[in-house]
Structures are given as C-alpha cells and as structure tokens.
Amino acid sequence: MKPSTHDNSFLIAAANSGQLIISDRSSRAEPFRTRTIITEEGSKKVVYKCAASEKAETFVKGIVAKERANAAYLKGHFDVHSGTLEGDRIRYDYLPYPSLVDEMQLRMRQGDFQTAQELLDRYVGKVQALEAVYTMPTEFLMLVGNQNGHKFETRCLCRGLLDLTPKNILMSGTHWVLLDNEWSFDFPIPIVFVLFRAIRELAITLQTEIRQITNEDNPALGMFACGWRTYYIPLVWIKYITATGISPRRLVRWEKGFWQYTTGSKKGYVGRIKRRLSLRTHLSANQIVFNGQICAGFKRFISSVPGVARIVHILDE
C-alpha cells in the first residue's frame, strides 16, 4: 500500500526507498502544504511535487493550470518547466541545470563580479520586458495585508509571479527556465516587489561571496538585517529596488504579509531594513560565520528564559 503524502509515514517511506526529499513545506498553512521529492524511474530521475495535506490537494492540482498560463505570459523571455498531474501529485522531468544563483555564485567565487553583474542585469531586463500595466495593485495589497490605506499606482506584471526569482530559474544554454510556479496569481503585482524579493534572496544566499568581492571599486551597502546579522548588497544593486518611490521598509512589510498568508501565522519574522545604512569597502567573509555562531548561542539563551524571546522579537520588529 502506498503511504499517504499527508503524514510522516511518507517521509519514512521516501527515505527507505532511496527517494530524496528536496523540499518539505509542511509548516505552511494546511491548504498550501507540499513536498517535493526526486526519485529514479528506470534510468532517469523524476521529480514529484505532492500535496502534504488533504486540504492542499486543490492547491497542487491548480499548479498545472498556472504553469500553462505562465508559459503563455513569459513566452519569448522565460521558458516554464511544466509537469503532468498524477492524482494528488505533479510529475516533472528532472533538469540537471544550474540555477541563476548558482551561476552568479560561481562567477563571484572566481572573482569575476562583472559577469555575475551582467547575469543579474539580464534577469532584471527580462522581468522588466514582460507585459506590464500601470495600476494600483488592489488584489495584491489585500493578499499581503496592507492595512494602512496607502493608495498608489505603480508598474506591475500583468500576472502575479511572486517566485520569479534567481533561485527558481535554471540556465540551459540560451534558455532561462522557470521552476516552481506555486505562487502565481491572475492579478497584477508590483515589479519592484519581484525585484526586491530577488535582491533579498541574493543577499542572503550569496552573502559570503558579496563580502569577498567588496572593495573600493565595488562598495557594499549594509541594508538588510535579521537579529544581529547584517546582510550587505553591492551598491550597484540598490537601483533595482529604489527607483519607484516605494520604500524598502514597505517592501519588507509586504514580504512579511505574504509570509503570513502562506503560513497562516502572525508570528513570522522576515527581517528588517536597517535604520542606518552603512557603506563599506572592505568586509570579512568570516564575520558572517562568527555572527551566525553568536546568534545561535543567543537564541539558545533567550529560548530558555520565559518571555524574553517575545520581547526580543518585538524590539527587532
């Protein structure tokens, strides 16, 4: 009997059968819980995205339709890796290609920031070349819990592809292939928010490499923070998220609202924009490891003292 993908027996069975679980989103709100696995069928690898709760079956089944709509919208700029629905899961061919993040990381580790920057510029150009509309994104603001009544118009993607970010784009020659179409909506979303999510993602994933390539010719700005950690970005990246007049702090609030939507929790923390932005021409790549060790020890301490964790979280917010 096949184990249910809705409980922990699936994780045990997957491990025993040699399947590799590459994503377990069981901490999300129940209607959005998914798991993604890689397995071998015959001589080739196959990827399955599965519903991890009964309530998530509708969500998973809807992804295939989103992939078709996204493929039409992105045509000429990005390809979409589409799957085939099989019951409560989607089957995908495995694509052995590096992601855009991987390619940028490789170049930066080699000291070739120029090529990494060219890749990022191409990505931004592709996003900005998609069909767009200048409008007030009402549905998007409702999604992220915008409660302050702030009304504005801005340039938006006609389809709300919130995960059109570098980690979800595979590089196959001249083809840029989009994975993970879960968070796609049929209403407009601000382009600057997509680019903000991309820059924040790169700042966290490539922080060591960013610190290594920071110098007088390529200064870095300490912009994002989470607890005691500061995440720097190359100064040349700031233009992608500040050109619209929408403040980075508002973008962080939108990110928090989206996190709360997907998890169904009000307790999440996505970090903040630093009040004082520091420009640096030299950074220690080892410092982020040291800071991480401090943060880990501090978290262990505050978790042992009743009430302290909540106070620290409020202050950090």
- At residue 17, does pLDDT exceed 90? no
Domain ranges of the chain: 8-93, 100-283, 286-317
3-state class (DSSP) for residue 171: strand
Tell me the pLDDT tens digit for each residue of 81-130.
Answer: 999 999 889 999 999 999 999 999 999 999 999 999 999 999 999 999 99
For residues 235-254, give the mean pLDDT. 93
The confidence score (pLDDT) of residue 12 equals 43
The confidence score (pLDDT) of residue 313 equals 47
pTM over 0.95? The answer is: no
Block residue for tokens 């679980």: 21
Q: Alpha-carbon distance 192 to 241, whole Å?
A: 6
Instruction: Give buried/exposed letters for 243-264 (b at 16+ CB in 10 A, else e).
Output: ebebebebbbbbbbbbebbbee
- At residue 291, does pLDDT exceed 70? no
Residue 48 pairs in a beta bridge with: 37, 91
Give the percent of the chain with pLDDT over 90: 73
- At residue 15, does pLDDT exceed 50? no
Residues with Cβ within 8 Å of residue 170, at least 6 apart in sequence:
81, 95, 97, 98, 99, 100, 176, 177, 179
The confidence score (pLDDT) of residue 314 equals 45
Residues with Cβ within 8 Å of residue 186, at least 6 apart in sequence:
69, 159, 160
* Diameter of the chain measured on Cα atoms: 62
Q: Alpha-carbon distance 9 to 11, whole Å?
A: 5
Going by pLDDT thresholds of 50, 70 and 90, the confidence category of residue 34 is very high
CA dihedral sign, ordered 46, 120, 176, 132: positive
